[in-house]
Chain A
Amino acid sequence: MKLTTVWLNGLWDRNPGLIQLLGLCPLLGVSNTIDKAIGLGLATLFVLVMSNASISLIRHLVDEAIRLPSFVLVISALTTSAELLMQAFHYPLYQSLGIFVPLIVTNCLILGRAESLARREPLLISTMDGLAQGLGFFFVLVSLGAIREWVSDIIILATLPAGAFIILGMLVALHQVIQKLLKRFRSNTKSDSKRRRVRTTGEIS
């Protein structure tokens, strides 16, 4: 697996927030202000990078029977550490995030990456994947937070969970439109080159 694919997947092609739709609970729960979104985005990024790295390191030591318990153990230890560090260094943020900090442990994005990638790939790829996926999630969370905070003065609905769903839906739709345009653009250039090649071979023969 190439590093460029890892980065493209995390940030765009298989973005956790817009394509895989993983981690919806924090995505909708703490995106009402940009501060909270940044705080939880960073905490999730930290746990994801560390968990991908540690799971990649122990990947040869676990078999089928103890795989899941080991992964959950790693993730929960890291989440508790993140919780303690946040309380020590930024207590007001910890207070405003509330239950969503310990809930990082149940964010399916983290166990999802452990199961689908980190348990097979070497340390560098796994760490980079954690960083890419985490940043992909971070950007979606922060955009959602920014849009909701910005719109909330005009439309009260934006501050409510229903508004979060609607705005997330719009972001997903926007992503699909851009993806479609990109695909059309790519296939156009591809078919152009194909036609040219056919002509060349025709002339030679």
Chain B
Amino acid sequence: MTFRLALFGLIASSLVGVIYVITEPMIIESKEDARNKRLYSIAEPFLGEVKIGTPINKVLANDAPVSLNNPLPVTPINNGKLQIGAVVPFRALDGYSGTIELLLALDTERRILGVRAIDYEETLGLGDKIDVQKTDWILQFNGLRYVDLSPTAWAVTKDGGQFDSFTGATITPRAVVGALAETLAYFETYPEIVGSGK
């Protein structure tokens, strides 16, 4: 009987092994696809003739805000050889249920092309309205530059800023707007990180 159990184990693990070998390249491809789809959806205004490059890690100076990883993976968006924008990940640490992971696409003049929440645990039906699949809330940043508004306007209306929060959920949008403002302000000081001149 012990021998039989060992035999079952052998058969079962070879089945998993065979499927693993077959699916492994497909899984790598799907993961890459998922990453690209996110980047493409955020870089929509560029779509057409442009190409999304591979991310380059950039080491940030010590005064980098907590919303940015250090080193920061910056994904360039290219039109031919010319870089016309970049996508960077950033995060809001003070969401209602932990960290909210976001993506930010900027053009070379540091104008926002898009912001997307990609990973979060916010309450369903309340805080998850930051997701573009639920509401258009996050699209209101499109086309803005940090210098277009006064620093105090980069806040939710409840805090005297100019961005709406949702009924029943202020913490989530406050966290997102706060982290976004911090990130944008940093790139105004160090524009070369996202591949643009002063």
Known: A91-B31, A156-B126. A73 touches B8 (CB 8 A): yes
Q: Note all chain A residues with C-beta closer than 8 A to B33.
A: 91
Q: Tell me if A61 and B20 are in contact (CB < 8 A).
A: no
Is A70 in contact with chain B by the CB < 8 A criterion? Answer: yes
Tell me, rounded to whole Å, the shortest Cβ–Cβ distance linking B123 to chain A. Answer: 8
Let me know if B162 is at the binding interface, CB within 8 A: no
| 19 residue pairs bridging A and B, Cβ less than 8 Å apart | A62-B4, A65-B1, A66-B4, A73-B5, A74-B12, A76-B12, A77-B12, A77-B16, A80-B16, A84-B20, A84-B27, A87-B23, A87-B30, A88-B23, A88-B26, A89-B30, A91-B27, A91-B33, A95-B34
Instruction: Count A-B pairs with CB separation below 8 Å.
Output: 63
**Contact A89:B8 (CB < 8 A) given known A65-B1, A80-B16, A160-B124:** no
* B9 touches which of A65, A73, A89 (Cβ 8 Å): A73
- In the bound complex, do residue B9 and residue A85 qualify as a contact, i.e. CB atoms below 8 Å apart? no
Q: How many residues of A contact B (CB 8 A)?
A: 27
Dominant secondary structure at the B interface: helix
Report B-chain residues with C-beta under 8 Å of the C-beta of A87: 23, 26-27, 30
B160 proximal to A (CB < 8 A):
no
Check B125 for interface membership: any CB of A closer than 8 A.
yes
Residues of A within 8 A of B (CB): 32, 58, 61-63, 65-66, 69-70, 73-74, 76-77, 80-81, 84-85, 87-89, 91-92, 95, 152, 156, 159-160
Contacting residues, chain B, for A89 (C-beta < 8 A): 26, 30
CB distance from A139 to the nearest CB of B (A): 23
CA distance A29 to B106 in the complex (A): 37
- Closest-by-CB residue of A relative to B4 is A61
CA distance A61 to B11 in the complex (A): 14
A85 touches B12 (CB 8 A): no
Residues in B neighbouring A65, C-beta threshold 8 A: 1
Q: Please provide the 6 A-B residue pairs with the shortest distance between their CB atoms, ordered closest to farther.
A: A91-B30, A77-B12, A88-B26, A88-B23, A159-B124, A159-B125
